[in-house]
Amino acid sequence: MILENGKLRFRSYHQERMHEAASVLRLSLPTELLSDEFEQQVLGLAEQNNCGYTARIKLKVWRSGEGLYTPQTNKADWLLTAQPTHLSSSPENIKVGICQTARTIVSPFSTFKGVNSPVYVMASIEKAERNLDDIIILDPDGNLAELTYSNLFWVKGNTLHTSNLETGCLNGVMRRALLSWATQQGWKIQEGKFKLEELDGAELVFGGNVTGLRAIKILEEQTFTTNESLLSQIKEGILV
């Protein structure tokens, strides 16, 4: 989560995502995570850690008990951390590749990240080894799914495209916010299973997560158009 100007960015979407994950995992979320006091706890921790204007907040939630395969309880424990961050430090136009070492695993658990996410770990190792800014992970059938820590979007033919959840991509907070905003703006939206060739001719290809949006300039040996004014329009609409 991002704390900005004393407020948690997209807090309602974060809560929605927590509820969905807890329902799948049959966890009972602690009431303090869902109360208005939670934001005050975040603010207090950020101040204690000298985070300044902007902070990156991480909330880890796990099942209480001894960690056996047959749970003793559905109650949850949690840990909150806060550290300073500079959102502008990420490159605006990024170079990516197609992941060769891992693919998404489609399941009831694939729309949210657990504490152990080997697909993203292996993809990120490959990204680092290839000196890329990020890497696109495909689904088991070779369809576009997502990036290592962002959902994937592109604008083409006056339509916003993104992979559907059946590809095993995360149902990320920025994905929710962007689709909601685009709907309010009257944009056409196409969620589906797309092959790599679908990116050809796009006005803008970009990744998005809770920290912001990043245009993809280069994919392997292919160079994309980056419509800066369109990206700015989207950013201004989403991140107000």
- The pLDDT of residue 217 is 96
- The pLDDT of residue 88 is 60
Q: What percent of the chain has pLDDT over 70?
A: 98
- The pLDDT of residue 172 is 96
- Average pLDDT for residues 34-44, to the nearest whole number? 91
Q: In this structure, which amino acid lies at residue 171?
A: N
- The pLDDT of residue 84 is 93
- The pLDDT of residue 145 is 98
Q: What is the pLDDT of residues 71-120, one digit of tens each?
A: 999 999 999 999 998 766 456 789 999 999 999 999 999 998 887 789 99
Whether 75 contacts 196, CB under 8 Å: no
The CATH code of the domain at 93-238 is 3.20.10.10
Whether 174 contacts 223, CB under 8 Å: no
Structural domain boundaries of the chain? Answer: 2-88, 93-238
Q: What is the pLDDT of residues 176-225, one digit of tens each?
A: 999 999 999 999 999 999 999 999 999 999 999 999 999 999 999 999 98
